[in-house]
Structure 1
Amino acid sequence: MAWAVRIRRAAAPDLPYRAREFFSGNFAASVSADSDETGLYGFQVLKTAKGFRRFVDEAIESADDLVSRISQMPPSEEVIKAMDDISNTVCSVIDSAELCRNTHPDREFVEEANKASMRISEYLHVRKQAYIRGNSVPYANLFVIDKLISTRHELAKIMGYRSYAEFAIRSNMAASPNVVMDFLLSLSNTVRQRADAEFKLVQDYKRTVDNDVRADLEPWDEAYFTGKMKSSAFDLDSSVIASYFPTFQCLEGLKLLAKSVFGVTLSRMSFSFGESWHPDVMKFLLHHPQEGDMGFLYLDLYSRDGKYPGCAHFAVRGGRRLSDAQYQLPIVALVCNFPNSQGSSISKLNHWDVETLFHEFGHALHSLLSRTDYQHFSGTRVVLDLAETPSNLFEYYAWDYRVLKMFGRHYSTGEIIPEKLVNSMNHARNMFSAMELQRQIFYSLVDLTLFGEQSADPMDTISIVADLKRKYTSWKHVEDGTHWHTRFSHLVNYGAGYYSYLYAKCFAATIWEKVCQDDPLSLATGTAIRTKFLQYGGAKHPSDLLRDLAGHSIVRNYNEGIVPDTSSLCKELNF
């Protein structure tokens, strides 16, 4: 994200103490493979029939810890892993009790197993609890959102506009909320059939796993079952993937990418006294062999207490022409929250974090490679519905094996990441692409509607969001007091502008197909991106930039506004 903080992923929190104990094998419930004396099925706790009571107590306590932690986590692979930990905890009890009550000759064991089975069955709604708890807090934000909407509407009316959406979009390519709405509804219609088919696929999988042909697929099931399906279908293990992305190697990847594509070098620099704000911060100089120094880049990559948990690009100083012979060099900072090394361990990134790093690096390159007369037009200082295009384009580089093999090396053996593994990662990424795109459309519709024209009656944002979800997604809305939108920070940062991510996604798909796909690492590709797009910042009309780079059809005029061509994105996702 340019200018404002873009929440993509918070640092993975530690497991609560009792959960760590349960999963590390220190609880009495754990299986003992080496002890001379153990309990039923190898569980230490099941040396007596009444051990089932403690087995259930410890499982519920550990799962509760995890549910509490999940409610504070953003959507991420860590959520899937934590939910699988819950499943593992609960299923250890269920499966042991089921075997015992059907086969054990001791009546006391059978009765205790029956009780354990009933108690833990009552607890099977943990995913639902985590979902509802996570989407029902903080309640006070409902009033904050209401106040934000009313204040922005009042501002728009003072400025002579019918809505805040009209005020915010007027200077963008889209030009009006009606153009954005038509774009979103058209894309929604395109994706609906495929999204419904993916929904049914997940529902059928759940029914098979649960051995219940009538089981409904609920919103709290999505992350868990789609994660399981991806891992099962493509034999993926996030820890194995992360082993090929030690953080220091990923930084080398950025250097290699900059050198190959743009012919520039990133060199580590020392700080002047008082310049740095934390020992983890690094400073780099971007240098071109013919053009000289291009700008400065700060990297503040690691999570720490008191630091904002998101990932973002910040423009510290814009570039500008000072004279015919002198240019004010831009200064930018990339702020992330990746895990740092702990003791002798090596900091490694999961691939979601690698994609995030490349996304933010795309913003940085936009700022560092632009050359404008005025800093007001430098780098990412462009219309909002163009700003995310370079960052989305550079996400493609994070998924391309030709790029990943340059720096993706096993942290201990040095083995290059296998092409087969990268292919599996890409297949998993696209497995539920329609539902993911549908979700982004839904987010955009929520944002556009809440800041649209207001009626005389007070706005009920919960009902509006619920209606939009039912109408434009394959999923039902959970009625139990949930208000997901009060945690959607883009309503604050982007206000009627979230659609710009979908614009950028379409633009990036077209640029990748037309300009980059055949030879993404060539200097010719980079020269085209730089000289036809990045170097102008916001000093040239955005539609001219896009057409000069990727051809006239990348955008089209629509009702006095401009919308992206969606054909490259649809082709990529096999719609």
Structure 2
Amino acid sequence: MGWSRLPLFRSHHYVCRRLLATRAKLSPLADAFNYHGLKTNDEQRNKTTGLFGYSVLTSPHSFQSFVKSTTEECHILCNEAISQTRVRKMVQILDDMSDALCRVADLSDCIRMLHPDEAYRYSAQKACQLIGQLVEELNTNSELYNASVRANSTSQKDKLIPDIHMDNVDKRVLGLFVADFELSGVQLQDPCRHEQFVRAASLALNYGSEFVEGCYSTVTLPSKYVANSYSDSSELIHPLSDHPDPFVRLSTYRTYYAPIDGQEKRLEQLLNARHEMAQAAGFENYAKRATLHSLAETPENINEFLEHVCRKLRPISAEVVRKQLLPIVKNSYQKITTHDNVPVNSNSKLIWPSDLPYTIGVKRQTLCSHNLADYFSLGACMEGVSQLASCLFGLRLEVVPVQPGETWHPSVIKVHVYSNKSNSIEPIGIVYCDLLDRPGKPAQDCHYTIRGGRCIFNGFYTQSYQSPIITLQLTLSPSESSATPPLLSLGQVENLFHEWGHALHSMLARTRYQHVTGTRCSTDLAELPSTLFEHFALDPRVTLEYARHWKTGQKPDSREIIALQQLSIGRGLGLSLEVSQQVCISYQKLYIYMPILHYYS
């Protein structure tokens, strides 16, 4: 299902002609993202709706009825599935059930993270917990599991008539449903274990939510640590890793990542609950359960892969550190050896974690000294996404007005995705773009599948297609005035393209069943389309097609083209170190779930 502190993004309804004259008009799509979306017209203003267009979601209390109606729907579907007289394929019934559950769970997960109203966040959090409990109750339902196994049997005599007509797609998806059942240990036919699993799964869900919430607790840095940079205390959104003062980098890094009261206990509770889940389901530990249906298949294989990556990267990383980054660190520390009588470690043989982003950034800037920020307004970058979607996939992006109550914040922009190859006037999907930072918004970039795409059946035949609904979350800095657009750093440009890669994956999947649509594919593969799409972002051949100066609308000139080419070269600098950091994080996660492995050092 998918995982700030600046002033609120100010919407505007009127811009004087003098301001309009100081900026270029790029395209309707680009201008909508640069200058606060589209106004709601009078006709739409009179049509109130609920979140994401669901008329039932008009208040925090409506989540309770949303969960209740979904629970009733799932019980009806469960009775249909175990009936000996059912007329639909088992896989169709299970997918209907999965669609109903995911619609509540994923939507609620999005709202609990992004809605500025605490009452909405609390209600959405409770909805997530209740649906999570319902999922595990269904996953440990022996009657439902046995009926699914019979439908999935290779023996024709064990099947009901509807399941005899399954094709390879039906069989594959039904097999995935059966595999999900067995992750809960339902095949062990032990009621005590089933109860233990449901209880542990509920605890794990609660502890996980509490831990994530704790990760976004306010972090303040007293002004005495950074002279002339902060007021009495400043709220840290992230460590100031690009600051030229090494003391500022180190102190903000240590402060931001300092232990948070109660977090260690919550983590221990989460790990214990997941371990209990795994053992109740018949697994040795949670790592064995989590990797069973992955491409790697076992924790041991993952460990071996990480060891191999480490061996390959270590000499490359050491060379980059010694020749490229250490001179920058040394120069940085030579400029300042003390700060408010606090000594700074000036050991030129070491690069602290707090130094890494700064040194890589400085080195990349030496390769590309030209300032290109004015060419990467949010609107221009969205135009790049749109051009790529059209060129590669025959898709068209169009910003549309929202109805009152449809979104959780005025800065959210609604995009319809159309197929140029279709004669239909209906979009093939909808993307809600919550891209700008605001107080209280989690500092992360992610993709939520609010509703998965799938076929709607009339008996055995497809009647229509349920279009996907997606939310994209980024934390881009809003512009300082309504006359200027948000300008993206190069890393933010890549992140924007990455998240749109996820969204387009969901748009293009067009699978028969929502259980496997878009990013609901194998976890190993979910990042592949987005990573590929991200690599287009700063390739000079692509960038020149969409990069436009926000004031003049002009393309980059010859000097800036050279800078773009240097930028493309510089992107690879430090990549080995960044991947090495990810390997360390992977090792840590693997270790806490399976500590008996021997790790490469």
The normalised TM-score by structure 2 is 0.56
Residue 426 of structure 1: how far off its partner (Å): 2.3
Matches within 5 A, 1:158-173: 158-173=280-295
Matches within 5 A, 1:271-420: 271-291=402-422, 292=424, 293-323=427-457, 324-343=462-481, 344-417=483-556, 418-420=560-562
Q: 1:426 is matched by which residue type in structure 2?
A: S
Residue 454 of structure 1: how far off its partner (Å): 6.3
Residue 73 of structure 1: how far off its partner (Å): 3.7
CA distance, structure 2, for counterparts of residue 271 and residue 330 of structure 1: 17
Residue 68 of structure 1: how far off its partner (Å): 6.9
Equivalent residue for 2:278, pick from 156, 160, 164? 156
User: Within the alignment, does 1:206 sit opposite 2:329 as a pair?
Assistant: yes
8 Å contact kept, 1:11–1:337: no
- Structure 2 equivalent of residue 79 of structure 1: 241
CA distance, structure 1, for counterparts of residue 572 and residue 522 of structure 2: 30
Q: 2:348 is matched by which residue type in structure 1?
A: A
Secondary structure, aligned partner of 1:373: coil
CA distance, structure 1, for counterparts of residue 5 and residue 393 of structure 2: 31
Residue 271 of structure 1: how far off its partner (Å): 2.7
CA distance, structure 2, for counterparts of residue 347 and residue 61 of structure 1: 28
User: Within the alignment, does 1:261 sit opposite 2:259 as a pair?
Assistant: no
- Structure 2 equivalent of residue 429 of structure 1: 571
8 Å contact kept, 2:429–2:507: yes
Shift of the 79–67 alpha-carbon distance from structure 1 to 2, 3 Å rule, reads farther
Residue 65 of structure 1: how far off its partner (Å): 2.8
Q: 2:477 is matched by which residue type in structure 1?
A: P
Q: 1:62 is matched by which residue type in structure 2?
A: A
CA distance, structure 1, for counterparts of residue 7 and residue 326 of structure 2: 30
CA distance, structure 1, for counterparts of residue 232 and residue 576 of structure 2: 28
Secondary structure, aligned partner of 1:380: helix
8 Å contact kept, 2:396–2:418: yes
- Structure 2 equivalent of residue 236 of structure 1: 369
Secondary structure, aligned partner of 1:435: helix
RMSD between superposed Cα atoms in Å: 3.0
Secondary structure, aligned partner of 2:465: strand
Residue 162 of structure 1: how far off its partner (Å): 1.3
- Structure 2 equivalent of residue 93 of structure 1: none
- Structure 2 equivalent of residue 51 of structure 1: none
Q: 2:527 is matched by which residue type in structure 1?
A: E
8 Å contact kept, 1:68–1:130: no
Secondary structure, aligned partner of 1:65: coil
Identity of aligned residues (%): 29
Secondary structure, aligned partner of 1:296: strand
- Structure 1 equivalent of residue 309 of structure 2: 187
Secondary structure, aligned partner of 2:440: coil
Shift of the 283–132 alpha-carbon distance from structure 1 to 2, 3 Å rule, reads closer
8 Å contact kept, 1:163–1:453: no
Residue 321 of structure 1: how far off its partner (Å): 1.0
Aligned length: 364
Shift of the 302–392 alpha-carbon distance from structure 1 to 2, 3 Å rule, reads same
CA distance, structure 2, for counterparts of residue 79 and residue 244 of structure 1: 24
User: Within the alignment, does 1:222 sit opposite 2:364 as a pair?
Assistant: no
CA distance, structure 2, for counterparts of residue 409 and residue 234 of structure 1: 21
Q: 1:261 is matched by which residue type in structure 2?
A: L
CA distance, structure 2, for counterparts of residue 136 and residue 403 of structure 1: 41
Shift of the 266–454 alpha-carbon distance from structure 1 to 2, 3 Å rule, reads same
CA distance, structure 2, for counterparts of residue 192 and residue 66 of structure 1: 42
Shift of the 409–327 alpha-carbon distance from structure 1 to 2, 3 Å rule, reads same
Shift of the 200–11 alpha-carbon distance from structure 1 to 2, 3 Å rule, reads farther
Equivalent residue for 1:65, pick from 230, 237, 240? 230
Secondary structure, aligned partner of 1:301: strand
Residue 4 of structure 1: how far off its partner (Å): 2.1
Shift of the 135–207 alpha-carbon distance from structure 1 to 2, 3 Å rule, reads same
8 Å contact kept, 2:368–2:564: no
CA distance, structure 2, for counterparts of residue 431 and residue 61 of structure 1: 30
Q: 2:431 is matched by which residue type in structure 1?
A: L
- Structure 2 equivalent of residue 503 of structure 1: none
Residue 164 of structure 1: how far off its partner (Å): 0.8
CA distance, structure 1, for counterparts of residue 413 and residue 534 of structure 2: 23
- Structure 2 equivalent of residue 449 of structure 1: 591
